Amino acid sequence: MAKTTYLLEMNHIVKQFPGVKALDDANLKLLPGTVHALMGENGAGKSTLMKCLFGIYLEDAGEIFLKGEKIHFTNPKQALEHGVSMVHQELNQVSQTRVMDNIWLGRFPGNSLWVDEKEMYQQTKAIFDKLGIDVDPREKVGHLSVSQCQMIEIAKAVSYDAQIIVMDEPTSSLTEKEVEHLFRIINQLRDQGCGIIYISHKMEEILRICDEVTIMRDGKWIATHEAKDLTTDKIINLMVGRDLTHRFPPKTNKPGETILEVNHLTAFYKPTVEDASFKLRKGEILGIAGLMGSKRTELLETIFGIRHKEDGEIILHGKTIENKSAKESIKNGFALLTEERRKTGIFDVLDIKFNAMIANLPRYTNKLGVTNDQKIKEDTDWVIESMKVKTPSQKEKIRSLSGGNQQKVILGRWLLTEPEILMLDEPTRGIDVGAKYEIYQLIIDLANKDKGIIMISSEMPELLGITDRILVMSNGRVAGIVETKDTNQEEILRLAAKYL
């Protein structure tokens, strides 16, 4: 029998950080011309393993082979030069420069004295045409949508003639149409012999687009199977080490009287939110659905005072409030967990302790301005324990945590402010199935404590699984509000298209 020729082999990889063994005998084998899923709960070691491949981290033990040749990259530049490219979940682009500058940064065509602008444009355009990307290479990156930026990163990977492309949660910010475009690009690259490592928590995508699946748990390799032999239930069982018989916790909250009224809310800058009205009851979980661009996020930002309102009123417990700023909103008992965790949620160069306490500074400072360090430590410990954050200590920089653990810290931060109205924008985006269940349970527990919960989600099963009612946005307007138990995906999608 002929020996299998792998494009990539990562054997017995070990990586330790202070107090944490992030990788413990991890393995991955990638065949050319295949899409290989890498799955596991947040903190399972997926990103760490890929960072060892890409030269961001240096492994402590183990071997990496590229087309049979042993390699040991000490920086990303070496990886790129050897045809290994990575499209990160959190895009790191220079927003004030042009698209083509971002793609060719550090290797501009021309010489040391001048850049060949014409050549750079033509090369960029050729790659875009090949991949079906409709973006002007001369456009500033800051003017693009998140999905367009995602496509630019994929084009950049292709520009290196990459043999291996790692894609980390590539569809987390894409519409259904954009996902289909991405899948066409992936199939095109696979047909050209490229090996794709695909990291995602979306089971349906994995089973549709991938050829093989490797599961990790607690830094260890658990199993590798052909995708055609797997089901969603089997993947979940391998990921969490147990059966999750129910995807959502039992709904135990019982909504009571109205605590919040939003009447004819219109944002100052248009086109955004227009004439939005709804009520929120004590102990209720109100979902917000809508297509990309429906202004769901803008609605919450206007309520929270990040966006100025032009008209309308916000009534809490029968009293009209203004919420002219985030500070005033927090004082009035509102909290907002934002959609873009890296951009607007965390202070990534600072530790968990700082990130946990930053929204609640008055709680820790007396009239003389003296900080109560012991209280900060106690509250941070509460966040770590109650949110089940995986970390060696509260002094760990938050950027070193997995995305799911970062999200738990932010959620804990807002709970420390003891809000009455908790607004969550895509709270489970980029989070694994086990951690999702924990957050669902936490949301239901908060509703049981008479909190009013407003939750935006792009995942329809999630909205149908844990909410009491669903408000549907369409082009900045409220298209309808439905009882969750009486609705279905078809009705919600019809409402979402009402004002398009």
Residue 378 and residue 458 share a domain: yes
Do both 203 and 265 map to the same domain?
no
Q: Which of 182-196, 231-245, 246-260 has the lowest mean pLDDT?
A: 231-245
What value does the mean pLDDT take over residues 452-480? 93
Asked whether residue 280 is assigned to any structural domain, the reply reads yes
Closest by alpha carbon to 294, among 462, 457, 465?
A: 457
Same domain for 346 and 280? yes
Whether 329 is in a domain gets the answer yes
CATH, residue 465: 3.40.50.300
pLDDT of 245 reads 58
- Contact criterion met (CB below 8 Å) for 264 and 312: yes
Rounded Cα distance, 312 and 316, in Å: 14
Question: What residue type is assigned to position 141 of the chain?
Answer: V
Average pLDDT over residues 200-229: 91
Looking at residue 242, what is its pLDDT? 59
Region of poorest pLDDT, from 102-106, 434-438, 470-474: 434-438
CA dihedral 318, 319, 323, 327 (to 10 degrees): -100
pLDDT at residue 212, as a whole number = 96
Whether residue 177 is contained in a domain is answered as yes
pLDDT band with cut points at 50, 70 and 90 for residue 40: confident
Single-letter code of the amino acid located at 174: L
Could you list the residue range(s) of the whole structural domain that residue 161 is in? 8-240
Pick the closest to residue 298 from 476, 175, 142 (CA basis): 476
210 and 278 share a domain? no
In a domain, 245, yes or no: no
CA distance 178 to 131: 13
Kindly state whether residues 153 and 295 are assigned to the same domain.
no
Q: What average pLDDT does the structure give for the chain?
A: 88
How far is residue 384's CA from residue 403's CA, in Å, rounded to a whole number? Answer: 15
| Short-list 149, 138, 142, CA closest to 178 | 149
Q: Is the pLDDT of residue 334 over 80?
A: yes
Separation of first and last alpha carbons in the chain = 59
Where a domain ends, among 175, 210, 240?
A: 240
Identify the pLDDT of residue 90: 66
Question: Is position 398 within any domain?
Answer: yes
Phi, psi of 139 (to 5 degrees): -70, 145
For residue 243, pLDDT beyond 60: no
The answer on 168 and 262 residing in a single domain is no
- The predicted-structure confidence for 159-209, as pLDDT tens digits, reads as follows 888 899 999 888 876 777 788 888 998 999 999 899 999 998 788 889 999
Work out the percent of the chain whose per-residue pLDDT is above 90: 48
Decide if 249 is inside a domain.
no
- The token pair that represents 443 in the structure block: 């949301």
| 8 A C-beta contact, residue 215 and residue 226 | no
Strands 319-321 and 309-316: antiparallel
Predicted local confidence at residue 473, as pLDDT: 95
The secondary element (H helix, E strand) that includes residue 61 is: strand 61-66
Q: What is the 3-state secondary structure (H, E, C) of 464-479?
A: HHHCCEEEEEECCEEE
Quote the CA–CA distance of 214 and 227 in Å, as a whole number: 9
Question: pLDDT at position 447, please?
Answer: 95
Q: Quick one: pLDDT at residue 338?
A: 86
Give the least confident one: 31-35, 159-163, 319-323, 366-370.
366-370
Task: Give every strand in the sheet of 421-425, ordered side by side.
Answer: 334-337, 421-425, 452-456, 285-289, 469-474, 477-483
Residue 390 shares a structural domain with residue 452: yes
Count of domains in the chain? Answer: 2
pLDDT of residue 227 exceeding 70, the answer is: yes
100 HSE (CA, 13 A, CB side): 20
Strands of the 195-199 sheet, one edge to the other: 84-87, 164-168, 195-199, 35-39, 212-217, 220-226
Task: For residues 225 and 302, state if they share a domain.
Answer: no
Least confident of 131-135, 221-225, 402-406: 402-406
Rounded CA-CA distance 487/495 in Å is 11
Nearest-angstrom CA–CA distance, 188 and 51: 25
**pLDDT at site 154:** 86
Cis-peptide into 32, omega within 30 deg? no
Amino acid at 234: K
Q: Do residues 221 and 275 both lie within one domain?
A: no
Q: Cα separation of 106 and 300, whole Å?
A: 40
- Digit-coded pLDDT (tens) for 50-93: 999 999 999 999 999 999 999 989 999 899 989 999 887 666 77
- Looking at the predicted structure, is the pLDDT value of residue 244 above 70? no
Q: Is 223 a residue whose pLDDT tops 80? A: yes
Residue 1's pLDDT is 43
For residue 247, tell me if it sits in a domain: no
In this prediction, residue 91 carries a pLDDT of 66
Distance CA 279, CA 314 (A): 10
Domain co-membership, 284 together with 422: yes
Q: Quick one: pLDDT band at residue 106, thresholds 50, 70, 90? A: confident
Residue after which a domain boundary falls, among 213, 240, 267: 240
Residue with structure tokens 């183990």? Answer: 62
Let me know whether 42 and 96 are in one domain.
yes
Assigned domain for 490 exists: yes
Domain boundary among 240, 275, 293: 240
28 and 152 together in one domain = yes
